[in-house]
Chains A and B, each alone.
Chain A
Amino acid sequence: MKVLIADEDRDFLSSFRKLCELDNNEAVTVFDGTQAVGAVTKQKFDIVIINRELPRISSRDIIGMLNERNIPVIEISGKRPDSDILLDSVLANAYLKLPFFPYELFDLASEVLKKTGSGEKIIYEDIEINASDFMLCGKQRVTNGEIDIIKTLIAKEKPCEKYAEPYINALNNKFEKLQKKLRIRYLMNEGYRLVSDYE
């Protein structure tokens, strides 16, 4: 697996490059947006890990470029993804909040890559999520977190609200935008459930 890691902190880059190498993965590290764009243009990567606070060229622009090339990307930052980020047309495949343990990042990267190559389609009532390209009904981009929430709810399991809330809000917003009748609602004594908005 070839990974591009973009972060302005050299120690961070060095540490995660070493960890990638220990896992027999190839890691390319860049410390600003210009270098990141150059690397993406010249080389092919399986996945990109990018810090939101990247200097020179914003991470949003780089993620937009990666979206066009269908290269999965994980954005790391000090903040949880909120509705502003999750409802943006330019969306990373997954978000990870600092600080984290290395296994959290690598597990997430594996998960994203697994979905990308799976060709998995999630169909429920009038919605369809294509896990391969992280698209909802072919029109709205969704993240790994949102796909996991939908899968959990379809399996009638309870998503942990501690992490799920922003993704649930984003999904409901996207359903509404797409004029779908499905919504995620919290039902007393039942927890979160997928319900038709007209029920």
Chain B
Amino acid sequence: MNKARKKFVLYAELTVFIMLAVLLTVINSVNFTMAAEDADRITEKLEAMHGSFDSDKIPAEINSSDGKDDFYKEKPNGFIPGENRRNGVFGKMGPDSPELNSSIRYFTFGFDKDGNSQKVAYKMSAYSEQEALEWAKSLLGQSTGWTKTTYRYRVYKNDGITYVTVIDQGRELLPSYRILIISCCGGLVMILLGVVILNILGKKLFKPLEESDRKQKKFISNIESQFRLPLTIINANTEIMERENGPTERTDIINNQVRKMTSLVKNLGSLAIFESEDKAVSNISLSDIMNRVIDCRKSEFAEKNLQLTTDIDNDVFLPGNEGAIKKAIEELADNSLAFAVSKAEFSLKKINDRITICQKNDTDLQNGSADQVFDRFTTLKNAQGKNTRGLGLSFVKDVFAAHNARSSAKVSDGIFILKIDI
């Protein structure tokens, strides 16, 4: 249950992280895209003004275009109005500000076909005129974009002259960078806060579940221990009846049912131990365990005339709980002993980092998935009349699932194949 709570916190935190990441990415992307658009509008205006807001020239194409001409005529010395969409709630701001021509830091250089340069405008403090010229030269051949992080440039041609305009957008970008930093820090704080809150909430949320889980385990453990003595007493009394009156069909039935219940109780015991105890983890040798367990049962396979084959790689190690793994392998062997018709096979393979345990035996079951063998108290058609209780393979699955393994079972061409991929 502790594991489930941790998983819940992890997944919830992951969800918060993804949502925050998407939200902040969208906000900051839109912010920076709009900043770039604003900068481009200024460079476009500069292009229209032949590279300088100080120019008296009013471009003919602007005069004749979409309604802007009146404004140009009114204020011809540098100020170019924004489009009407900017005249809303926020008024004339950014590229549409009437203060633009006096506040903008920029330079424009013109280059003729022979590479001769001509200063069109230079209003900048951070770079000397010579540095600005070299900078402009380095931008020739490009169109528009960011340069030196906070400068926006535009390269355009007019009357055979190539102009390079570079504007400083440092002040305009500063709020965007602030938002970026604040949102990232805020996001981080939110995530950390989320971990704390989710942990507290998780504890409260899982408390009833943990309590129910604890009760369930205690119940299983109680059943397991409380059934032991009555079963022994039933066994004893059945034997008394048999000795006094001879074995009958009734006493045989009691014996069979007691055997089944005994087996069930033993399995419940294993399950209770596996589910309740803290499981010590060490680097265990799976090869060793499989060899030992199968070795121990060789005589039982021989007694049942079952052909036993093993293919176990040496030195396959796994970090895990030795007791639980050993018990699970024993269950696999018992399962094979109970259901194999004439042959049984065990293999342990390690290819790269993937470990596969496989138990095969011939069967009279029909082809298809047999994953239901892992369900508690479920017995397949061929289990009828056998001393099974439907808990062994459920235990196997639980043990290996706790070791991050996947268990699957199927029947193919008369062979039952149980595979555990670790």
B236 contacts across to A, CB distance below 8 A:
12, 15-16, 18-19, 102
Q: Does A78 lie within 8 Å of B225, measured CB to CB? A: yes
A99-B295 contact in complex given A15-B236, A22-B243, C-beta closer than 8 Å: no
A139 on interface, CB distance cutoff 8 Å: no
Q: Does A12 lie within 8 Å of B239, measured CB to CB? A: no
B296 on interface, CB distance cutoff 8 Å: yes
> Which of A16, A99, A100, A102: most chain B Cβ within 10 A?
A99
A107 on interface, CB distance cutoff 8 Å: no
* Pick from B225, B237, B295: contact of A191, CB under 8 Å: B295
B231 on interface, CB distance cutoff 8 Å: yes
Q: Does B296 lie within 8 Å of A102, measured CB to CB? A: no
* Pick from A78, A161, A191: contact of B228, CB under 8 Å: A78
A111 on interface, CB distance cutoff 8 Å: no
Closest CB-CB distance, A40 to chain B, in whole Å?
23
State the CA gap A55–B314 with chains docked (Å): 50
Q: Does B231 lie within 8 Å of A99, measured CB to CB? A: yes
B232 contacts across to A, CB distance below 8 A:
12, 98-100
Q: Does B292 lie within 8 Å of A191, measured CB to CB? A: yes
B262 contacts across to A, CB distance below 8 A:
99
B411 on interface, CB distance cutoff 8 Å: no
* Pick from A22, A98, A99, A162: contact of B296, CB under 8 Å: A162
Closest CB-CB distance, A21 to chain B, in whole Å?
10
* Pick from A19, A100, A158: contact of B240, CB under 8 Å: A19
In the complex, residue of chain A having the shortest beta-carbon distance to the beta carbon of B258: A99
Instruction: Enumerate B230-286 residues with CB–CB distance to A below 8 Å.
Output: 231-233, 235-237, 239-240, 243-244, 262, 265
A160-B296 contact in complex given A16-B236, A19-B240, A188-B291, C-beta closer than 8 Å: yes
State the CA gap A19–B224 with chains docked (Å): 25
State the CA gap A18–B228 with chains docked (Å): 20
A186 on interface, CB distance cutoff 8 Å: yes
Closest CB-CB distance, B325 to chain A, in whole Å?
14
Which applies to chain B's interface (DSSP): helix, strand, loop or mixed?
Answer: helix
A46 on interface, CB distance cutoff 8 Å: no
Interface flags for B201-229 (1: CB within 8 Å of A; 0: not) read 00000000000000000000000110111
Instruction: Enumerate A11-52 residues with CB–CB distance to B below 8 Å.
Output: 11-12, 15-16, 18-19, 22
A101-B330 contact in complex given A22-B240, A158-B295, C-beta closer than 8 Å: no
A9 on interface, CB distance cutoff 8 Å: yes
> Which of A11, A100, A101, A186: most chain B Cβ within 10 A?
A101
A18-B240 contact in complex given A78-B225, A99-B265, C-beta closer than 8 Å: yes
* Pick from A78, A101, A160, A186: contact of B288, CB under 8 Å: A186
Closest CB-CB distance, B339 to chain A, in whole Å?
19
State the CA gap A19–B239 with chains docked (Å): 8
Q: Does A12 lie within 8 Å of B288, measured CB to CB? A: no
Closest CB-CB distance, A95 to chain B, in whole Å?
14
Closest CB-CB distance, B391 to chain A, in whole Å?
16
A189 on interface, CB distance cutoff 8 Å: yes
Interface flags for B121-157 (1: CB within 8 Å of A; 0: not) read 0000000000000000000000000000000000000
Q: Does B239 lie within 8 Å of A102, measured CB to CB? A: yes
| Given A16-B236, A78-B225: 16 more A-B contacts, CB < 8 Å | A12-B229, A12-B233, A15-B233, A15-B236, A19-B239, A19-B240, A19-B243, A22-B240, A98-B232, A99-B227, A99-B229, A100-B232, A102-B236, A103-B239, A161-B296, A191-B295
Chosen A-B contacts, 24 in total, with CB atoms closer than 8 Å, are A9-B229, A9-B233, A11-B233, A12-B236, A15-B233, A15-B236, A15-B240, A18-B236, A19-B240, A19-B243, A78-B224, A78-B225, A78-B228, A98-B229, A99-B228, A99-B232, A99-B265, A101-B239, A161-B292, A161-B293, A162-B296, A188-B287, A188-B288, A191-B295
